[in-house]
Amino acid sequence: MDNVYIDEVETFIVDLPVKRPHQLAMTTITTQAIVIAIIKDKSGRTGVGEVATIGGASYGDSTVEAIKANVDKYIAPHLIDQSPIRFSKIMAMVGKHVRGNLFAKAVIEMALIDLAAKQREIPAYQLFGGKIHDSLPLAWTLASGDTAKDIEEAEEMLHKKRHNIFKLKIGHGDPGANVRHVGEIVKAVGGQSRITVDINQAWDEYIAARQIRALEEMGVSMIEQPLPAWNYEGMKRLTEKFDISILADESTTSLHDTYRIIKERAGDAVALKPAKHGGVLETKKIAGIAEGAGFGIYGGTMIESTVGNAIAASVYSTISEFKFGTEIFGPLLYRDRLTLEEIKVENFEIQIPDDIGFGNTLDYDKLHHYKR
């Protein structure tokens, strides 16, 4: 049994180009930076994890450079000669030695679970509760910044039966103009789809109160993170003031953040993202307390490639209900992929892979082509 123990941990920073500029409040993505972790056991089997970040340090404090450095220096040494199936114990031990660093912990835990599942030749979801869903509703983000292009893109997605939930990034630029932009898209495709918006923390409470009223009246179904992550009281006031759902994303990072959001009712829904929560185990905990409080759940994305996207899909398949669907569309935005497998979307839903581990076969030629 010695061959099941961990022998090596490697990390890579990879820069993948996207098909079109992806505009958010804090940056515009033309190339996405991700971290790939590979954990190898003594028999040569490998487990693979991925976390992505957005816009360097403009989105959060976990940059790819910091993630790699902290995994290599402070986390990896705790893994050598450990058995991957004890991933829960390993991550508890890592947590005692490494504070914060949720993205770094997440990428390692993902690779541990992938390796443990491959050692047993089972799908990874069997190690954390078992699959409930064979597929999940898949949203698409319209983020070109051009109304005509966004409408054309939405109509194409509807025709292909790829997406009938659309999220609009409207935190960048003039709020009134952005809301009018949303109104045009609602007029064009709102009868065939559900429309949500993401502010990415860009508004203050005065602007939010004024613009959310207009968004509510035009039929938008959900507002994501309208205020800065720290403004719990403002989020609470907006939640009480409007019927439209207020979803917390950047303000629900850790389990403790989420508890505070729920306790103070600073929103009525939460966005899950395994990378920002610190991994699969913490994501399951956060989903559980949100469900227990009657909060809506949304399956968010950090715009991962096929590696991280399959991991998120596997985790989300074990969670009972997603009130607002999921947006794990990342691989569809990239020009290339790091795995032999593509994601599959049928009839507006992403299909959950049933292959061994997280269902990924890493393409090492592509990894070395795109790595820094």
Which residues does the annotation mark as catalytic?
169, 327
**Dist. CA 331–CA 343, nearest whole Å:** 7
CB-CB neighbours of 323 under 10 Å: 15
Given its phi and psi angles, is residue 81 left (phi above 0), alpha (psi -120 to 50 degrees) or beta? left
Q: Across the chain, where does the E strand assignment appear?
A: 6-23, 28-41, 46-53, 135-137, 140-142, 165-169, 194-198, 222-224, 245-248, 269-272, 296-299, 345-346, 349-351
Contact assessment for residue 189 and residue 156, using Cβ atoms and an 8 Å cutoff: no
CA dist 236 → 240, 248, 282 (Å): 6, 11, 24
Q: What are phi and psi of 250, to 5 degrees?
A: -65, -20
CA dist 189 → 153, 282, 297 (Å): 11, 36, 24
Order of strands, sheet of 46-53, starting from the edge strand that comes earlier in the sequence: 6-23, 28-41, 46-53
- Pairing mode, strands 269-272 and 245-248: parallel
Distance of CA 90 to the CA centre of its chain: 23
